[in-house]
Chains A and B, each alone.
Chain A
Amino acid sequence: MADRQVCLSGTGLTKVFGFGRQKTVAVDHVDFKFYESEVVSIVGESGSGKTTLAKMLLGLLTPTEGEIYFQGQKRDISTQRKRKEYWKNIQAIFQDPFSSYNIFNKIDAVLLDCIYMRGGRRLPQAQKVALMTEACGFVNLKFEELTNKYPFELSGGQMQRLMIARIFLLKPKILIADEPTSMIDACSRATILDMLMQLRDEIGMTLIFITHDIGLAYYVSDSVYIMERGKIVEHGSADEVILNPKEAYTRRLISDVPKIYEEWDLSTV
């Protein structure tokens, strides 16, 4: 695929927390290129800087150093208006669905917000309901059962699915999924992953998975970036990285996942 477009890229991206002796370099001069409608995984253990990187991509944290380019242009989120414009293109699903919602807002408000963001404020009520029903239908939820409920009345899996319904309404260019399945059980995990992939095919967005589970990364992604202590130590296509890992760190991550077809070596920790 020579003609694929770079969607989001970064050069020398760095984030430093604290200063002096307390200084922690969370993300250390990271370079990356994410292509359009590609599934990318960023894999690393706790504390390797994955989430900090994601927050910088989302514009929730200001990088200490380095630049982010969005669709070839330097990203500009200096004003609230520009920031909102940027967020129409990049959205996220977080690890903990229980803390992703405003507990005072009903589900209707959550979904209506998305419609407003896409410029649907003046649509007739019936059409808004039709849009919301369609979005809920996409993730196997029933809008009639959800309307007038609060997010905390749903189960974890349902909340995470509602999050995907939001993304379905917003149709962003990039979706960052930060450990989207680590708080839900293996069975709903398959459903959630399925929906995300379907959504990717439907609206052609770039999907960035952030995970510690290299099995998941291998299953979903086209290319994989391995992060260790703030640095990207290895990247390439999923088959390349996971079947022929070059770095010792990657090999360790792979060996840490429990297997069923091979012996699981417990002596490495």
Chain B
Amino acid sequence: MGKILLDVRDLSTKYVTRFQENVYAVDHVSLQVEEGKALGIAGESGCGKSTLALSLMGYYFPPLHYISGDIIVDGRNISRMDPDDVRRLILGREIAYIPQAAMNALNPTQKVISFIEDVIRVHDLGSSKREIYERARILFQTLGLPENVLQKYPVELSGGMKQRTVIAVAVLLSPKVLIADEPSSALDVTSQKMVIKMLMRLMEDGLVRSLIFITHELPLLYNVTDDIMVMYAGQIVEKGTAKEVVFDPLHPYAKGLMGSIIVPEEGVRGVKLTAIPGAPPNLKNPPSGCRFADRCKYVQPACRVTAVNLRELPNGRAYRCIFSEEELREAYRNG
């Protein structure tokens, strides 16, 4: 087992709305990321994936608020650090983040190189323009990006190139953990593949030491990550290796997600996609029992009574359901 770079214990965060209502978007989430490993987070829109990504950085600004839990990055607890220190010492160096709309993350009035200069200056590393340019050039070269991108404005770049530039800027300081939130969702399949290839290369070259990859595209997660965590309504509902979660899901929600996969392979045509009916619950006052109960095919009265705990299996898997493994498999066999 490798060194654990990111250790999150029972992290809870909330949004406070204009009307002072609390929305509990991340609810007692624990996770570990080992050195050299990629963790995938799956789930539909509105289930708290992106909020979890923001919360993991330890940099909270309204409307996002910290409630409880610990975030330990390489032995250092950052969950209660001063936001300014987090920004200066943690972001970029320890944890880097690629936002969902990364294509809009570049400043349209600045050339890529002056954006990079800003990033490096904030972190007090090397001040001369020549030094910074040299550093950026070498990085772009290693990542296989053309050097002339540095002298361009973001509008001159294609979507895929912008995305790859943003990733390059994110890994400028060789972070220990890279969080990629839907890095390829807005791109066509070819650019998506280039972005994925680049992320894999970063891991191989040791420019980032571990990766958290967030997306709703399960085939993509299956190809990129070692472990997958499925989130629903702010909670983890299933955890396991990529293979286990994709081919042998235990939680009914994970099972439902797997039913929505479309791949261009023989035997896909004519198979009916199983969409999960309904929408995730409102997290202002989440249901007291199982949060998936209203949409679950196998729901029992007992599901709605008390909160369901995450069951840890001896082989390292975990799922949040009142049924045992055997009962679930039996139910899936019977359709």
Seen from chain A, the residues whose Cβ lies within 8 Å of a Cβ on chain B are: 45-46, 140, 155-157, 184-191, 193-194, 212-219, 238-239, 242-243, 252-254, 256-262, 264, 266, 268-269
Contact = CB atoms under 8 A, between A and B. Distances in A.
B218 A45 contact: no
Given A187-B216, A187-B275, A219-B262, A212 B189 contact: yes
Nearest to B160: A46
Contacts of A157: 45
B185 to A, nearest CB: 8
Shortest beta-carbon contacts, A-B, top 10: A190-B275, A190-B273, A212-B188, A185-B216, A258-B219, A187-B44, A190-B260, A256-B189, A191-B275, A215-B264
Contacts of B220: 258
A184 B45 CA distance: 8
B7 interface: no
A242 B273 contact: no
A156 B218 CA distance: 20
Contacts of A260: 218-219, 222-223, 246-247, 261, 263
Most buried by A among B190, B222, B263, B266: B263
B223 A186 contact: no
B194 interface: yes
Interface in B82-128: none
B257 A187 contact: yes
Interface string B159-200: 100000000000000000000000000011111111011001
Contact of A45 (B190, B257, B264, B269): B190
Contacts of B46: 155
B265 A266 contact: no
B81 interface: no
Contacts of A243: 266
Given A257-B189, A258-B220, 12 more contacts: A185-B216, A186-B216, A187-B257, A189-B262, A190-B273, A215-B268, A219-B268, A254-B264, A260-B261, A262-B265, A266-B197, A269-B197
A269 B264 contact: no
B36 interface: no
Given A219-B269, A256-B189, A261-B265, A185 B45 contact: yes
A233 to B, nearest CB: 15
**Interface of chain B, helix or strand or loop or mixed?**
loop
Interface of B: 44-46, 158-159, 187-194, 196-197, 200, 216-220, 222-223, 246-247, 256-257, 259-266, 268-269, 272-277, 279
Given A219-B262, A266-B193, A258 B222 contact: yes
B44 A185 contact: yes
B85 to A, nearest CB: 35
B223 A264 contact: yes
Contacts of B246: 260
Contact of A190 (B193, B196, B247, B259): B259
Given A186-B44, A188-B44, A190-B274, A216 B262 contact: yes
B173 to A, nearest CB: 26
Contact of A193 (B263, B269, B273, B276): B273
Contact of B263 (A46, A184, A188, A259): A259
A261 to B, nearest CB: 5
Which of A155, A214, A215, A217 has the largest count of B CB atoms less than 10 A from its CB? A215
Nearest to B270: A219
A141 to B, nearest CB: 11
30 contacts: A46-B188, A140-B277, A157-B45, A185-B216, A186-B217, A186-B218, A186-B257, A186-B261, A187-B260, A187-B276, A188-B44, A190-B259, A190-B275, A212-B188, A212-B190, A215-B263, A216-B262, A218-B269, A219-B269, A219-B273, A242-B264, A252-B190, A257-B189, A257-B263, A257-B264, A258-B223, A259-B263, A259-B265, A260-B223, A262-B265
A36 to B, nearest CB: 21
Contact of A266 (B191, B196, B262): B196
A188 B217 contact: no
B273 A256 contact: no
A16 B267 CA distance: 40
A213 B189 contact: yes
A193 B194 CA distance: 27
A50 to B, nearest CB: 10
Contacts of A214: 189, 264
Nearest to B218: A186
Contacts of B200: 266
Nearest to A194: B275
A217 B189 CA distance: 13
Contact of B191 (A46, A213, A217): A46
A155 B44 CA distance: 13
A140 B190 CA distance: 34
Contacts of B275: 187-188, 190-191, 194
Given A187-B216, A218-B269, A45 B222 contact: no
B269 A269 contact: no
A183 to B, nearest CB: 8
Contacts of A261: 263, 265
Contacts of A188: 44-45, 275
A214 B193 CA distance: 14
Contacts of A194: 272-273, 275
A194 B276 CA distance: 12
